[in-house]
Amino acid sequence: MKKYLLFNSVVPRWVIMILDIFIVATSFSFSYFIVYRFEFIDILRGYFFIYTGLYCIISTEIMYIMRIHTGLIRYSNTRDVSRIFSAVFLSTIIYLAIINIGVLPAWPMNPITIYMIMLVNLSVSSTLLILLRTAVKSLYYYINHYSNAAKTFVLIYGSDNSAVLVKQAVEASDKANFSVVGFVDGNPAKIDKEIEQVKVYDIDKLDKLIEKRKVDRLIIMNQHLDEEAKKNALEKCIALGIQVLTVPPSDQWIYGKLNLQQIKDLKIEDLLQRKTIQIDTTRISQDLNGKRVLVTGAAGSIGSEIVQQVLTYNPAMVILCDQAESPLHELRLHVEENFPNVPAKIFIADVRNYGRIRKLFLDYRPEVVFHAAAYKHVPMMEENPTEGVLTNVLGTKNIADLAVAFGVGKFVMISTDKAVNPSNVMGTTKRIAEIYIQSLKNSPLNKQTRFITTRFGNVLGSNGSVIPRFKAQIEKGGPITVTHPEITRYFMTIPEAVHLVLEAGTMGTGGEIFIFDMGEPVKITDLALKMIKLAGLEPERDIKIIYTGLRPGEKLYEELLNDGESTMPTYHEKIKISRVIDYSYDQVISDIDDLLMLNKKNDVVAVVNKMKEIVPEFISKNSEFEVLDNNNNIEESVLEI
């Protein structure tokens, strides 16, 4: 038996059936003896073998029909107990009926005696059958919990039904090799109670528990990661060096069972995620239902999420525009598989190519535009300013001008906090795009298009962002490179950002910049330390952190408002409207035309200098273009003299 329990072998069903029949025969015989007070002469005269044999036959048939022998004993539960009792009770009723009809007349016995035997047997038989399963389950738990040194000892967060399901699932896995030593909870009413043979511990005493029980992991269901209490527990685990694992909700388990591959390491994105944002889906549905929607940059991190969320609001058509062929192909397959009833048109194009984009507007006549196409990496654009201007300024201008020409109802531009008091070329190109979008409100050509800008910070896990980079560095054994020990950034999840983009899109009347509540800024060094600990490693001992210095154009701290801007609240607590500076359309178009003319000449210095003229708050940092700021200051001083 130990061999079967220790090595997770399955006992054949016929063995369990024989054990059950043996228990049934023994319990009936014992009940017979008790009622006859162990007077064996009277027992043998009372047709003992006939009555016992008949009961065993009937019980065997009933238990076989009810499949009592088919369950794995080591995983018996209350449902199995109920089935056993039902089988014994049903056997008793059928047996008594047969006895009264055909047996008592042929082999007479006092009816009261047989009723007493059956009453005792009902209790003894069901008890012994249940005890067999309880004993095997307890023995299996003891052997696997205490006798295998290779076990990984884990705690499970919470003590509700979900937590119990997780315990049963991980212990049922042949490969996970987990031993659950307890649950942790913050509810005083549950602490020190026992659930399924393990104790519920106080989350506040986690450090002592780890030392006492040698805990290696904490398992948590990931659908509640935004709750503050769990966040605190996770932070504590990370600080104590406990690796945190997540499992999906039970309704996502494959065929109702937790697959080993579904047990994942906690991601830093999960840890930084905030409480789920509530959005007004009715307003968004009214805005998008039955409309033709264009998404530029559709294959990117933000663009692809916009596509997925827009598709849930039953648009008439979604046009997926991007120049990245392979990612666009992957997105197309995903859309066709998950949204087969919504027409999705793939349009490969560069937003800088006015003629190609005009073809898109001619063919599909979009009614709503989400403009997410842009270059976003600060150092890359610092080295290639003219390309940044072409995509972020000219590309935006092309899409916006065509939106006006074709009478698009709404144009939503995705901007960035790097456009605020920019210190780099990328942020400045986005700021110029913002200025142009805002100025179109005053354009004599614009009859009906509402131009709306949304501005937010970094999104977690986006292509090329800091988190995937840190992950790759940790997998290689380090070191992790951070530019500066004090650098901070705002972070938001991609779905969260897009929720707010769609919500802001319903609010806009034209010309606004909507700013999202990004929460508290995150110190990048702290982010790196947490990611190292989440990987089960020790900072500086296993993975070193190296500071490389600020990159060209990089700020220590990001901002959400430009000089001269302030905010007004909206009905959504996470969205505010910037009180923006009003721009003359004629002046803006003149400045941008000059910028694009210089850009054609590929005169990088002249281009950046013009950008500083259009956006006076653009002060280069840690960049070769700082000299332009110094020259401009000297020129201003000379003019004053």
Residues 96, 208: one domain? no
Query: Taking 60 as the threshold, does the pLDDT of residue 145 lie above it?
Result: no
Residue 255 parent element (H or E): none
**Arithmetic mean of pLDDT, 590-607:** 94
Q: Annotated active-site positions, please? A: 418
What is the pLDDT at residue 491?
78
Q: pTM score, two decimals?
A: 0.69
Residues 122, 220: one domain? no
Higher pLDDT, 132 or 94: 94
Higher pLDDT, 455 or 4: 455
Residue with tokens 């990245």: 324
Residues 138, 222: one domain? no
- Sorted by sequence, the CB contacts under 8 Å of residue 401 that are 6+ apart come out as none
Per DSSP, what are the bridge partners of residue 156? Answer: 183, 219
Domain end marker among 85, 111, 145? 145
Higher pLDDT, 139 or 285: 285
Query: Taking 50 as the threshold, does the pLDDT of residue 6 lie above it?
Result: no
Residue 473, domain member (yes or no): no
The CATH code of the domain that includes 230 is 3.40.50.720
Higher pLDDT, 175 or 164: 164
Residue 232, domain member (yes or no): yes
Residues 383, 495: one domain? yes
Q: Running DSSP on this structure, what letter comes out for residue 249?
A: -
Give the residue numbers spanning the domain of 256: 149-266
Query: Taking 60 as the threshold, does the pLDDT of residue 472 lie above it?
Result: yes
Q: What is the pLDDT of residues 390-449, one digit of tens each?
A: 999 999 999 999 999 999 999 999 998 888 889 999 999 999 999 999 899 888 888 889
Residues 253, 158: one domain? yes
- Count the domains in the chain: 3
Residues 343, 385: one domain? yes
Nearest residue to 197 (alpha-carbon basis) of 133, 130, 142, 129: 142
d(CA 318, CA 338) in angstroms, rounded, equals 14
d(CA 375, CA 626) in angstroms, rounded, equals 22
Residues 160, 116: one domain? no
Residues 117, 27: one domain? yes
For 463-531, the three-class secondary structure string (H helix, E strand, C coil) is CCCHHHHHHHHHHCCCCEEECCCCCEECEEEHHHHHHHHHHHHHHCCCCCEEEECCCCCEEHHHHHHHH
Q: How many CA atoms lie within 13 A of 353 on its CB side?
A: 13
569 token code pair: 């609240």
**Arithmetic mean of pLDDT, 566-578:** 71
Domain end marker among 125, 145, 165? 145
Q: What is the pLDDT of residues 265-284, one digit of tens each?
A: 667 766 666 665 666 778 88
Strands 344-348 and 368-371 turn out to be: unpaired
Domain end marker among 116, 145, 174? 145
**Percent of the chain scoring above 70 in pLDDT:** 77
Nearest residue to 543 (alpha-carbon basis) of 490, 617, 604, 482: 482
564 token code pair: 């001269």
d(CA 204, CA 292) in angstroms, rounded, equals 53
Residues 447, 577: one domain? yes
Residues 42, 110: one domain? yes
Residues 219, 245: one domain? yes
Query: pLDDT class for 5, splitting at 50, 70, 90?
Result: very low
Residue 372 and residue 324 in contact, taking contact as beta carbons nearer than 8 Å? no
Residues 182, 137: one domain? no
Residue 204, domain member (yes or no): yes
What is the pLDDT at residue 410?
93
Q: Is 12 exposed, middle or buried (0-12, 13-18, 19+ CB in 10 A)?
A: exposed
Q: What is the pLDDT of residues 243-257, one digit of tens each?
A: 777 777 666 665 556
How many beta carbons lie within 10 A of that of residue 81, not counting itself? 15
Q: Running DSSP on this structure, what letter comes out for residue 51?
A: H
Residue 110, domain member (yes or no): yes
629 token code pair: 């700021």
Q: Running DSSP on this structure, what letter comes out for residue 567?
A: E
CA angle centred on 429, ends 426 and 432, rounded to 5°: 150
Residue 377, domain member (yes or no): yes
Residue 522, domain member (yes or no): no
Residue 272, domain member (yes or no): no
Residue 553, domain member (yes or no): no
